[in-house]
Amino acid sequence: MQQHGEDAAPLAPTLAGTLTDEGHVCSARIYYADTDFSGFVYHARYLEFFERGRSDCLRLSGIGHIPLAEGAFGEPLVWVVRRMEIDFLAPARIDDIIMISTRTVSISGARIEMKQVITRDGMPLVTACVEAVLVTPAGRPRRLPKDWAGLLMPKAA
Amino acid sequence: MQQHGEDAAPLAPTLAGTLTDEGHVCSARIYYADTDFSGFVYHARYLEFFERGRSDCLRLSGIGHIPLAEGAFGEPLVWVVRRMEIDFLAPARIDDIIMISTRTVSISGARIEMKQVITRDGMPLVTACVEAVLVTPAGRPRRLPKDWAGLLMPKAA
Amino acid sequence: MQQHGEDAAPLAPTLAGTLTDEGHVCSARIYYADTDFSGFVYHARYLEFFERGRSDCLRLSGIGHIPLAEGAFGEPLVWVVRRMEIDFLAPARIDDIIMISTRTVSISGARIEMKQVITRDGMPLVTACVEAVLVTPAGRPRRLPKDWAGLLMPKAA
Amino acid sequence: MQQHGEDAAPLAPTLAGTLTDEGHVCSARIYYADTDFSGFVYHARYLEFFERGRSDCLRLSGIGHIPLAEGAFGEPLVWVVRRMEIDFLAPARIDDIIMISTRTVSISGARIEMKQVITRDGMPLVTACVEAVLVTPAGRPRRLPKDWAGLLMPKAA
């Protein structure tokens, strides 16, 4: 299942970040669009960076949004976020380069729980616990395939 | 301190919502911009609706962002969100009209804690506990004025 | 076809703005989410305000997004924007109340052209010429129903 | 003037894209946050991708937003967009990898004009002509330094 835009890959070797023993890590830049008039990043925009981390962690683990939505796992499926606990520890600013780390904590039933942290120069800026659920387009939850735990749970001892 | 755009007020009597004994309530519409390809509202966009609720609650209580930022309380001040716990219970969709309710739970030091809920036809869709802090443009927290508790805490017994 | 959230309507009499002989007018507030670190509104956010104007103009004219998407006009249909010319004349700032005016200029084939302006206290801030097209979910353009010209073109002489 | 987050650079060699004889090119991924319920990318989100292209083109040319805002060119300065002409030719979808190309067309007075295009697998999706102006925080235009033409105009014959 080839993805649109793969030709651009040579230009973007790390566009999707990297899988690690712990989970996944990628980086991103802060642009005008991410900031607000306080001079800092608007708090809701961190959730978009967290989404990039989760999406790329899943993609590199072989679970892309397009195959999911097109029924590769039996019927069309999309992710919905069910719960987030977010601590905003320190602000990012325009032009900053941030790192987004994602680690799967548990998988059970239709639900996946991930811990994420955004850092800058190693300093944690925002942490999040995220619960997401796999649902049909009508919103009905669907059990995650059994082998996803093996794909997504950390390999580190 | 007149606000830009007040001439439009006759057209928008409820643009800022309404103060109640419990706190504040306002309504909003879901547009294309709020949705994602799942067909539901993108989870981070609910945080913008919550921000509207808090901003208008503060505004109607006499604490507007512009006076704050211009130093009406001694020095320039802006709000930053420190912590959020969010439960996404049911999704909103394009064209839905939602209601955003905001209630102040506690005020202490530089910190305000609010409980918020987004409903549609009385059904809760998203709930949030939000801690926000008043800071200088350099990011240093500043104690909230003492009389703000009287302005913001619920009047209901 | 009742819309979700109509119970909130008494709280929001003007939530969808007003049809006029010229077209449509509604108002909106600037929040943190709309601004960037320059202190002004982020330029792309004006496009969301324009979308609200077009969406509500269509809705009040009897052409809601939900009926369109659900096939009320023969098959599922959504709007895509094909072209925009935007002049950013003066900036809006946090807490400003803006007015969004929308006027249909022409309807032909699958295409509608609208002129829009955002004002504050009568002063134009941003103007836009917008071409949008009605398409199927697969992206194929579909001719607008003949009677839409009567619904949408200005009544003013 | 070191930038926050430079430690992440080894992980993100192409995060800021690449200067070319023509101008600048970078790539980006489409996430949930960029899409709307039509299934395509929300039209205003393309403007954020264009902003990334312009910002990184300027950054790699030695004109970063932070030095500008901190007065490295005499007084604090920020960019505002004055005019955009945008043609939306074909839609991007979730997970797509897009390329953003930026070319400076002219520099005169306080004004810079750039042509930009977003492609996927070489196919143009969105094109834009953008005029931006350098202003003080109070909104007053400021003449661009004379040597910026040499920095920004295409080297190609």
Cβ <8 Å between B65 and C32: yes
Q: CB of A37 within 8 Å of any CB in chain D?
A: no
For A96-112, the pLDDT digits (tens) are 999 999 999 999 999 99
Q: Can you list the alpha helix ranges (DSSP code H) found in chain A?
A: 45-60, 65-69, 148-152
Would you state the pLDDT for residue C155?
83
- Which of B36-40, C1-5, C140-144 is least confident? C1-5
- Among A53, A96, D34, smallest CA distance to B45 is for D34
The whole-angstrom distance between D37's CA and the closest CA on chain B is: 4
d(CA C79, CA C133): 6
Burial category of B57 from C-beta neighbours within 10 Å (exposed 0-12, middle 13-18, buried 19 and up): buried
Would you state the pLDDT for residue C156?
65
Would you state the pLDDT for residue A112?
97
d(CA D50, CA D127): 9
Chain C contact set for B9 (CB, 8 A): 97
Residue A10 has pLDDT above 90, yes or no: no
Q: Which residues of D are catalytic?
A: 36
**Read out DSSP for C72-137?**
TTSS--EEEEEEEEEEE-S--BTT-EEEEEEEEEEEETTEEEEEEEEEETTEEEEEEEEEEEEE-T
Neighbours of D149 (CB within 10 A): 14
Is the four-CA dihedral A131, A134, A136, A137 of positive or negative sign?
Answer: positive
Tell me what the mean pLDDT of segment B86-97 comes to: 96
Burial category of C143 from C-beta neighbours within 10 Å (exposed 0-12, middle 13-18, buried 19 and up): exposed
For B59-72, the pLDDT digits (tens) are 999 999 999 999 99
Tell me what the mean pLDDT of segment A83-92 comes to: 97
d(CA B44, CA B34): 9
User: Per-residue confidence at A14, pLDDT binned at 50, 70, 90?
Assistant: confident
Q: Which of C80, C83, C85 sits opposite D38 (nearest CB)?
A: C80
Q: CB of D78 within 8 Å of any CB in chain C?
A: yes
- Among D79, B75, B3, smallest CA distance to C39 is for D79
Q: CB of A129 within 8 Å of any CB in chain B?
A: no
DSSP state of A41: B
Chain C contact set for A138 (CB, 8 A): none
Global ipTM: 0.91
For C36-45, the pLDDT digits (tens) are 999 999 999 9
d(CA C33, CA C54): 21
Chain D contact set for B93 (CB, 8 A): 37
Q: Which of D48, D84, D91 sits opposite C80 (nearest CB)?
A: D91
Q: CB of B31 within 8 Å of any CB in chain C?
A: yes
Task: Give the burial string for B111-140 (b: 16+ CB within 10 Å, else e).
Answer: bbbbbbbbbbbeeebbbbebbbbbbeeeee
d(CA B12, CA A68): 43
**Subunits with at least 3 CB pairs below 8 A relative to chain B?**
A, C, D
Q: Amino acid letter at C29?
A: R
Average pLDDT of the residues of chain A: 91
Cα R_g (chain C), whole angstroms: 16
The whole-angstrom distance between A4's CA and the closest CA on chain C is: 16
Phi and psi, residue A62, nearest 5°? 95, 10
Q: Which residues of C are catalytic?
A: 36
The residue of chain B with its CA nearest to that of D44 is: B33
User: Per-residue confidence at C79, pLDDT binned at 50, 70, 90?
Assistant: very high
pLDDT tens-place values along chain D, 157 residues long: 345 554 444 444 578 999 999 999 999 999 999 999 999 999 999 999 999 999 999 999 999 999 999 999 999 999 999 999 999 999 999 999 999 999 999 999 999 999 999 999 999 999 999 999 999 999 999 999 999 999 999 986 5
Q: CB of B83 within 8 Å of any CB in chain D?
A: no
Q: CB of D80 within 8 Å of any CB in chain A?
A: no
Cβ <8 Å between A37 and C33: no
Q: Can you list the alpha helix ranges (DSSP code H) found in B81-145?
A: none
The residue of chain A with its CA nearest to that of B66 is: A37
Would you state the pLDDT for residue A11?
43
Chain A contact set for C40 (CB, 8 A): 37
- Among C79, C84, C96, C89, smallest CA distance to C29 is for C96
d(CA A44, CA D41): 19
Residue A7 has pLDDT above 90, yes or no: no
Chain A contact set for D55 (CB, 8 A): 31-32, 95
Cβ <8 Å between B33 and D39: no
Would you state the pLDDT for residue D7?
47
Would you state the pLDDT for residue B155?
83
Sequence-separated (6 or more) residues with CB below 8 Å from residue A138? none
Q: Which of C29, C45, C98 to mutate to test the interface with B (most CBs of B within 10 A)?
A: C29
Cβ <8 Å between A95 and D15: no
Would you state the pLDDT for residue C157?
54
Tell me what the mean pLDDT of segment C71-82 comes to: 94
Q: CB of B96 within 8 Å of any CB in chain A?
A: no
User: Per-residue confidence at A157, pLDDT binned at 50, 70, 90?
Assistant: low
Cβ <8 Å between C93 and A37: yes
Would you state the pLDDT for residue D11?
43
Cβ <8 Å between D137 and C39: yes
Q: CB of C84 within 8 Å of any CB in chain D?
A: yes
Would you state the pLDDT for residue C9?
43
Q: Which two tokens stand for residue A46?
A: 């961190």
Give the number of residues written for chain C. Answer: 157
Q: Which of B39, B40, B42 sits opposite D33 (nearest CB)?
A: B42
Q: Which of D37, D42, D44 sits opposite B39 (nearest CB)?
A: D37
Cβ <8 Å between A82 and B87: yes
Q: Which residues of A are catalytic?
A: 36
User: Per-residue confidence at B157, pLDDT binned at 50, 70, 90?
Assistant: low
Cβ <8 Å between C91 and D78: no
Q: Which residues of B are catalytic?
A: 36
**Read out DSSP for C7-57?**
GGGGG-TTTT-EE-SSSEEEEEE--GGGB-TTSBB-TTHHHHHHHHHHHHH
The whole-angstrom distance between C149's CA and the closest CA on chain B is: 23
DSSP state of D3: P
Q: CB of C39 within 8 Å of any CB in chain A?
A: yes
Tell me what the mean pLDDT of segment A48-57 comes to: 98
pTM score, two decimals?
Answer: 0.93
Cβ <8 Å between C120 and B5: yes
Q: CB of A42 within 8 Å of any CB in chain C?
A: yes
Sequence-separated (6 or more) residues with CB below 8 Å from residue B66? B1, B3, C93, C94, C95
Chain D contact set for C44 (CB, 8 A): 44-45, 47-48, 51
DSSP state of C66: H
Would you state the pLDDT for residue B130?
98
For B2-26, the pLDDT digits (tens) are 455 544 444 445 789 999 999 999 9
The residue of chain B with its CA nearest to that of A91 is: B139
Burial category of A57 from C-beta neighbours within 10 Å (exposed 0-12, middle 13-18, buried 19 and up): buried
Cβ <8 Å between C47 and D43: yes
Would you state the pLDDT for residue C2?
43
Q: Which of B47, B69, B137 sits opposite A44 (nearest CB)?
A: B47
Chain B contact set for D29 (CB, 8 A): none
Tell me what the mean pLDDT of segment C144-149 comes to: 92
